[in-house]
Copies of this chain bind each other. A is one copy, B any other.
Amino acid sequence: MPSDPSPPLATIAAALRQERQRVGISLTELARRAGIAKSTLSQLEAGLGNPSMETLWALCVALDIPFSRLVEPPANSVRVIRAGDGPRVRSEHADFTGTLLTAGTAHARRDVYLIELEPGRIRNAEPHTPRTVEHLVVGTGRMRCGPEHEQVELGPGDYATFAGDAPHRYEALESGTFFVLIMEHS
């Protein structure tokens, strides 16, 4: 969700310089490989101008980097969240506890949650935003989950993935069940 009204020119400039130095080639050489004028590249690395898609794409191909590398600020020792700690998101049902472990970068969300689930009630999840995909791996316990008419039963170490933009359910089959949930908002 970009809120800054101005394009991230500084980010692009920094990223270009950094990636070029990583490959270990000169500005001139990169311009040659990308098929653009070196004056253009010089200005871009200075954070000036308003580059066109064509120019930036050519640079991404030459550097062999994803496009998002240019527009996203770099992300960033050990951070630990102990089981039971962390920002909790309690469900409206008391038998469901979620912890947000890490949020994906703005432009490529893959949020990771640790979910504890107690048996007895079925957790019906409302459909999320379109194109959401869910991935989950069971830690301990047993559970049943999946889209409305495609439930699967999972045990420790089992992995499942399904569309998150359709109605789906989670249900613990044992006490002390927890799983890692990755919400991919592509």
Interface assignment of A94: CB less than 8 Å from any CB of chain B: no
Q: How far is the CA of A163 from the CA of B79 in the complex (A)?
A: 10
| Interface range on chain A (Cβ under 8 Å from partner) | 35 or more
Oligomeric state, in number of copies? 2
Nearest residue, chain B, Cβ from A139: B139
- Taking the closest CB of chain B, its distance from the CB of A54, in whole angstroms, is 5
Assess the B75–A184 pair: CB atoms within 8 A: yes
- Can you list 20 A-B contacts with CB-CB less than 8 angstroms, sorted by A residue number? A2-B61, A5-B61, A51-B53, A75-B186, A76-B163, A77-B150, A79-B161, A79-B162, A80-B160, A81-B160, A83-B158, A99-B159, A101-B161, A104-B108, A110-B182, A116-B157, A137-B139, A140-B140, A140-B156, A180-B180
